[in-house]
Amino acid sequence: MTRRLRRFTSTLGSVAVLATLAGCGADDSSDGGGKGGALTVWLTIDARESWPDLVAGTNKRFAELHPGTEVKVQYQQWPSKNQKIDAALAGREVPDVVEMGNSETTNYIINGAFSPLEKKDFDHSEDWLPALADACQHNGKNYCVPYYAGAKVGIYRTDILKKVGVTSPPRTYPELLSVLDKVKAEYGAEDKNFSTFHMPGRYPHAAMAWVKDAGGEMAVQEDGRWKGALSLPASRAGLTTWKKLIDDYYVGDRSKDNGDEPGVVGQGKVAMFYGNTWEANAAADPRSGGNPALRGKFDTFAFPGPSGELLPPFLGGSLLAVPVKSGKQELARDWIKLFTDHGSQQQLIKAQTLPNNTVQLREVPADGINGPSARAAERGWVTPLAPGWTAVEKSNILPSMLQDIATGKKTVAQATEDADREIDKLINEN
């Protein structure tokens, strides 16, 4: 089954649920301090589908260190995971280890849901990817451990580029535009439904890469308060460049998001798009809506930015945390140590997944499908780690702003000013 590196959106439950956790210690009813019994680990289905051997091997190693303690791994679906975590944390029966997306942790940490974890106890902690490590920090303490990452890249049809005389992907933004112009001249003239570059309007994780590349931000913190930053000159410049790319090369519904991207690309009328590495295979996989006839015709490349550097990608990733109410704190930490150590990260690399640290990014095969993603990962970013960013995402402020820009309903200046005003109402509330 194709592993889908999903969009990380928080479905955080009520503040009242998490507020009950502040100041709570481990549940005294749980196994007398955490020796023996069972250790409950909640992972998402990515682990079951793509690296079950890593899970089994970790449990075997853990059993050798802690005879008599059974590890019970329960796999969760991303859409319902946080709702289940909220319900568990409000009760007495809590998992001992939970997996979180790196854009999901802030409110849990602020509200005291997770126990502090000493960074020095974990492999490569000084080299953790910043977009993962930063999501674990609060008031000088560390509350989770990076697990794995995924960075967006350019994905292109090798046969289409070859037909227009391009034998290797572009390395600079001017080269990118030149390639797209050649493809548009060859294919766009024949088919008005052909998109040289697929870029739907409601796609914040893509559009914000152009903002970041221009030196802009979604939000900034000043004097302990957060505020929207999309109307700053650099942010507007990035969005203006993004809009021009759409105007010049995208043919399609600008009010859509990227949820059906593999299926759209699989129709054969797209030469290039910006997405997750797995989509290169999914576009040819019927289980994802792709077209098997296109199998072997996609490749990836590190996407160049207008700045002259690689386009900074949204770095989706997973983190592991220990709920403060777990009665097996030490055992949980030991399991996480094993599951994220150097050897475990090597297994993730073999499973075509990015490791949690910059040192082992160099072990990712440069000529493999994840080679470009590894190059881009060090410039990766995550959504603002502000207490109210969950509310901002739930309000669809960014997708609505981007749709207004992409469709021409509003100018970049109007849309960003309106978006900042809405962000300011929510971003400091937890």
Helix (H) or strand (E) holding 109: helix 106-110
* In the block, residue with structure tokens 């957060």: 226
**φ, ψ of residue 107 in degrees (nearest 5):** -65, -35
Can you tell me the distance from the alpha carbon of 7 to that of 275, in angstroms, rounded to the nearest whole number? 11
**Does 241 share its domain with 389?**
yes
Is 228 a domain residue?
Answer: yes
* Domain at 30, CATH number: 3.40.190.10
Is 8 a domain residue?
Answer: no
Residue 421 tokens read as 């005003």
Residue 254, domain extent: 153-313+385-426
Q: Is the pLDDT of residue 11 over 70?
A: no
Residue 36, pLDDT score: 64
**Does 58 share its domain with 207?**
no
Q: Could you give the number of structural domains in the chain? A: 2
**Does 288 share its domain with 335?**
no
CA distances 28 to 23, 115, 322, 329, Å, are: 14, 15, 16, 12
Q: Is the pLDDT of residue 28 over 60?
A: no
Residue 95, pLDDT score: 98
The model's confidence at residue 250, banded by pLDDT at 50, 70 and 90, is: very high
Last residue of a domain, one of 377, 394, 415: 377
Is 2 a domain residue?
Answer: no
Angle between helices 52-65 and 329-339 (to 10 degrees): 130
Is 210 a domain residue?
Answer: yes
**Does 157 share its domain with 137?**
no
- Region 121-137: mean pLDDT is 97
The conformation of residue 292, written as its DSSP 8-state character, comes to: G
- Do residues 316 and 330 lie in contact, with contact meaning Cβ atoms separated by under 8 Å? no
Is 3 a domain residue?
Answer: no
Mean of per-residue pLDDT scores for the chain: 91
**Per-residue pLDDT tens over the stretch 281-336:** 999 999 989 999 999 999 999 999 999 999 999 999 999 999 999 999 999 999 99
**Does 291 share its domain with 252?**
yes
**Does 142 share its domain with 213?**
no
**Does 196 share its domain with 77?**
no
**Does 389 share its domain with 368?**
no
Is 274 a domain residue?
Answer: yes
**Does 144 share its domain with 157?**
no
**Per-residue pLDDT tens over the stretch 46-66:** 999 999 999 999 999 999 999
**Does 116 share its domain with 162?**
no
Q: Is the pLDDT of residue 196 over 60?
A: yes
**Does 264 share its domain with 364?**
no
Q: Is the pLDDT of residue 30 over 50?
A: no
Residue 26, pLDDT score: 41
Q: Is the pLDDT of residue 123 over 90?
A: yes
- Count of Cβ atoms closer than 10 Å to residue 297 Cβ: 17
The model's confidence at residue 4, banded by pLDDT at 50, 70 and 90, is: very low
Is 256 a domain residue?
Answer: yes
What pTM does this model have? 0.88
Residue 7, pLDDT score: 34
Residue 35, pLDDT score: 57
Is 203 a domain residue?
Answer: yes
**Does 371 share its domain with 389?**
no
Can you tell me the distance from the alpha carbon of 343 to that of 332, in angstroms, rounded to the nearest whole number? 19
Burial zone of 31 (CB within 10 Å; 0-12 exposed, 13-18 middle, 19+ buried): middle
Cα-atom radius of gyration of the chain, to the nearest Å? 22
The model's confidence at residue 190, banded by pLDDT at 50, 70 and 90, is: confident
